[in-house]
Amino acid sequence: MDSVNMAILLLLLALICLFLTLNSRGKSHLPPGPTPLPILGNLLQLRSQDLVTSLTKLSKEYGSVYTVHLGPRRVVVLSGFQTVKEALVDQAESFSGRGDYPVFFNFTKGNGIAFSNGERWKVLRKFSIQILRNFGMGKRSIEERILEESRFLLESLRKTEGQPFDPVFVISRSVSNIICSVLFGSRFDYSDERLLTIIRFINDNFQIMSSPWGEMYNIFPSLLDWLPGPHRRLFRNFRGMKALIARSVREHQASIDPSSPRDFIDCFLTKMAQEKQDPLSHFQMDTLLMTTHNLLFGGTETVGTTLRHAFLVLMKYPKIQARVQEEIDRVVGRSRQPSLEDRPAMPYTDAVIHEVQRFADIIPMNLPHRVIRDTAFRGFLIPKGTDVITLLNTVHSDPSQFLTPREFNPNHFLDANQSFKKSPAFMPFSAGRRLCLGESLARMELFLFLASILQNFTLHSLVAPEDIDLSPLSTGLGNVPRPFQLCLRQR
């Protein structure tokens, strides 16, 4: 074929794609959006910055509900508090599906809680919530576990003896140990190679997923599978985690007593044995591995990243840090550990933690959702199976909900009497049917770890407060804080 014929063929193909796109848009009455190119979709409109910034910019042009093509995939993007709430809360069931997310999906293949759909997701979610609740309400409640872990954390922080250190691993070890103890039955020693390996894998993957490589992989997975780059470590790391979990499951199988389950894995294995005869059971070995993996991943990097953002904010605003410490001293004192019972009497600390979560916005685009039926929404008709991105960053910076959205301002969560004030636009854990199932655990961890640290130490930056940069180093799945070191002064 000569080059003229080739050019004509390509032009025809492009026209057919355009026709099909516009035609399907007409039938379903999709929201407006930039015209896509064949295969590339709206890549030209998206490539200037990170995906979050580009999608946020497009919402200024096309409104709070618009259609965009991430490569060949059509996605509806929602922004602003009112619109996101109408979808995730008011039409919760319709928007409850999980959208495509190749950086995870190509490993989980739709198994596990976070990336499954339909009946399997419902069954696994109900089961996991029940088990987490049981272990939280049982003899060794989750609060006791966090308080115990805080003591180990404080001990390792004391060992820094006022010298500068990077908080990433120190904090992640303690945070990960909480979910590890629920999943595997006991915490790991801080020097245990298994714990350190888990943290390394998760930290590395969170960074890659929050970089342009992770974003490009989500748009063109088949192409990137053939190209070299850091994205290739994603699945190697995931396989490493899976092998580690599988080893623990084998150890559990060898010592399980179904009448007295020690942890999540025991409960799952018992359920698998009960449903052994049912060929349609959702309780299979691979599902156990993926579900454990989801909980481990979800329960480690998120809380650790939030605490690192909190450290940066408290060092940048020493007066805010001092006011939290004053409240801790007044309500808890220095002779006992802070407990959850103290929280209602500590509105300022609570407000600061909420503001850190709003401001840091650690999962800015949420995980992708999908409409599970044809859905009428704000005058449009979104066809069943369409993926939906809810820009949580635009909810958290919505000027109709927060007085000074660009500033770190604990008053966003305090009323005129300085009592704690809830905000319906506080959505770091998302909202609706897919609401983060670790929310209550994460909120306990954030409060207890932070209050314990500030009760014992004052955080000092190595640079002047005004030089601390709170903007993220990279953005994608998560907002990753810039690397930093800090010193702790014993109080």
Cβ proximity to ligand HEM: between 224 and 480 the closer is 480
Figure out which of the listed residues 65, 241, 436, 459 binds ligand HEM, where binding follows CB under 6 A.
436
Contacts of 266 (CB under 8 A, 6+ apart): 185, 252, 256, 258
Give the pair of three-digit tokens for residue 477: 């799945």
Give the binding range for ligand HEM (CB under 6 A) out of 22-30, 186-194, 358-366, 448-456: 358-366
Figure out which of the listed residues 437, 451, 459, 486 binds ligand HEM, where binding follows CB under 6 A.
437
Give the pair of three-digit tokens for residue 76: 């509806």
From 241, 173, 232, select the one nearest 201 (Cα to Cα).
241
Figure out which of the listed residues 363, 389, 425, 454 binds ligand HEM, where binding follows CB under 6 A.
363
The answer to the question of residue 430 lying near ligand HEM (CB under 6 A) is yes
Figure out which of the listed residues 52, 113, 154, 249 binds ligand HEM, where binding follows CB under 6 A.
113
Q: Hey, what's the torsion of the CAs at 168, 171, 177, 178, to 10 degrees?
A: -130
- In terms of Cβ atoms closer than 10 Å to its own Cβ (0-12, 13-18, 19+), residue 260 is exposed
The answer to the question of residue 122 lying near ligand HEM (CB under 6 A) is no
Give the binding range for ligand HEM (CB under 6 A) out of 27-35, 267-275, 432-440, 449-457: 432-440
The answer to the question of residue 441 lying near ligand HEM (CB under 6 A) is yes
CB-nearest residue to ligand HEM:
438
Which residue numbers belong to the known binding site for heme? 436
Q: Which SS3 state, helix, strand or coil, does residue 240 take? A: helix
Figure out which of the listed residues 313, 401, 434, 486 binds ligand HEM, where binding follows CB under 6 A.
434
From 480, 450, 368, 425, select the one nearest 89 (Cα to Cα).
425
Whole-angstrom distance, CA of residue 317 vs CA of residue 311: 10
# residues contacting ligand HEM (CB under 6 A): 25
The answer to the question of residue 386 lying near ligand HEM (CB under 6 A) is no
CB of 99 to ligand HEM, least distance (A): 9
- In terms of Cβ atoms closer than 10 Å to its own Cβ (0-12, 13-18, 19+), residue 411 is middle
Q: Which SS3 state, helix, strand or coil, does residue 187 take? A: coil
The answer to the question of residue 352 lying near ligand HEM (CB under 6 A) is no
Residues that bind ligand HEM (CB under 6 A): 98, 113-114, 125, 179, 294-295, 298-299, 302-303, 306, 362-363, 366-367, 428-430, 434, 436-438, 441-442
